[in-house]
Amino acid sequence: MSANRQTKETFIPDFDPIDTFVTPWSTHAEIAWNGQIVTMGILVCLACGLVGSFIVVRKLALMGDAISHGILPGLALAFIIMKSWALFPMFFGACVAGLLCSFCIEWLQKKSILKPDAALGVTFTTFFAFGVLLIAMYGGNAHIDAECLLYGEIGLIPLAESLSLGGVDLGARPIVSMFVVTVLVIISVTVFYRQLMVTSFDFTLAKTLGLPVTLIHYGLMLLLALTIVSSFEAVGVILVISMLIFPSVTANFFFRRMPAILFCSLPLSFVYSIGGFFLARWLDCTIAGAMVLVASLCFALGWAFGPNGGLAWQLLDRLNDKPGNKNARSEGCAVEGQ
């Protein structure tokens, strides 16, 4: 990345449009490097946004939090056994640990007197602590950087080793794996859309329809774990939660049906990734953090101006109180009286 040209005297660096918008795309090397960062950002936001929409409607928003922390012992064990960051053992270990974590949470919720949120807190912190312990005891020479694990460093993604298949260079490993996971997520969400919807909306109906509700639930959890594992190098285990939750809650201010909310993940992922990139460029800060800030900003805008429950519309309704209420009432009565 280019050298830091910001002056450090002011709290907010001066905004230099040329340096922010043009310089990153001025040479081939810059384009290749920054293009990879933005692509990774878009893939992360898209996969997380799609899986996250279902997680949010199932009221499992914090399950993402739990799984993102719960994968740590799996990652650590994979590293200790393989003695290196091999792709498949890492994915395998992390997914098993993530699924085990969600299984333990549900087991505790059902079989103990613990409240659901307490069961969640107890389980994932135990998993996380176990992972930290494993790394401290056996991973002395592991290249596990706690800061990178927690916050991620999407700016260094292009540094990762290249993956090649049959002599063809596919690109940086994290981007390739993220791409594969994103495609998998898109396919699963499209093919099993109905099953995911009905099990999320009405568990009992799903059961009477003969759907394997437990299998579908853990399928979704597996998808969530896969998404988190492939994202955490870029955005870390903490910020990945915001990528899961923000797209769907923001889209919710504009759309009232699930397909629209899912589609919304695509434009939002571009906005988050590109916006975050430029914001980080301007403020000279971590890109992952800037992406989340952009996501928060979009959410705030949605909350303020979104047609579904946005503050501006509520205010407007209140200003036109009488006519609005009259309309609503007469419409309701007309049909009730049929």
Beta carbon nearer to other proteins, 115 or 194: 194
Q: Are 90 and 75 in contact (CB under 8 A)?
A: yes
Q: How far is the CB of 183 from other proteins (least distance, A)?
A: 18
Q: Cβ closer to other proteins: 82 or 328?
A: 328
User: How far is it, in rounded angstroms, from Cα 171 to Cα 89?
Assistant: 20
Instruction: Give the distance, in angstroms, between the CA of residue 74 and the centroid of all CA atoms in the same chain.
Output: 20
Find tokens 């959410």 and name the residue.
299
Among 59, 81, 112, 296, binds other proteins (CB under 8 A): 59
The residue within the footprint of other proteins, chosen from 267, 307, 324, 332 (CB under 8 A), is 332
Residues within window 158-197 making contact with other proteins, judged by CB under 8 A: 191, 194-195, 197
- Is the CB of 32 or the CB of 209 nearer to other proteins? 209
252 contributes a contact to other proteins by CB under 8 A: yes
Q: Which is nearer to other proteins, 123 or 195 (CB)?
A: 195
- Binding status of residue 257 toward other proteins by CB under 8 A: yes
Say whether residue 5 binds other proteins (CB under 8 A).
no
Q: How many residues bind other proteins (CB under 8 A)?
A: 29
Could you say which DSSP state residue 161 is in? Answer: P
Q: How far apart are CB 122 and other proteins at their closest, in Å? A: 21
Of 35 and 324, which CB lies nearer to other proteins in the complex structure?
324
Residue with Cβ nearer other proteins (230 or 248): 248
**Facing residues of 171 across strands?**
163
Segment contacting other proteins by CB under 8 A, of 74-82, 201-209, 283-291, 292-300: 201-209
**Binding string to other proteins for residues 205 to 224, with x set by CB under 8 A, is what?**
x-xxxxx-------------
Amino acid sitting at position 227? T
Task: Say if residues 258 and 310 touch (Cβ distance below 8 Å).
Answer: no
Alpha-carbon span 323 to 201, nearest angstrom: 34
User: 305 CB contacts (<8 Å, ≥6 apart)?
Assistant: 311, 312, 313
Identity (one letter) of the amino acid at 44?
Answer: V
Long-range CB pairs of 7-16, under 8 A, 24+ apart, other chains included: 12/283, 13/282, 13/283, 13/284, 15/282, 16/282
The C-alpha angle with vertex 71 and arms to 62 and 142, in degrees rounded to 5, equals 140
If the CB atoms of residues 28 and 257 are measured against other proteins, the closer one turns out to be 257
Rounded Cα distance between 277 and 1, Å, is 12
Q: Does 204 bind other proteins (CB under 8 A)?
A: yes
* Contact set with other proteins (CB under 8 A): 57, 59, 191, 194-195, 197-198, 200-202, 204-205, 207-211, 252, 255-258, 260-261, 332, 335-338
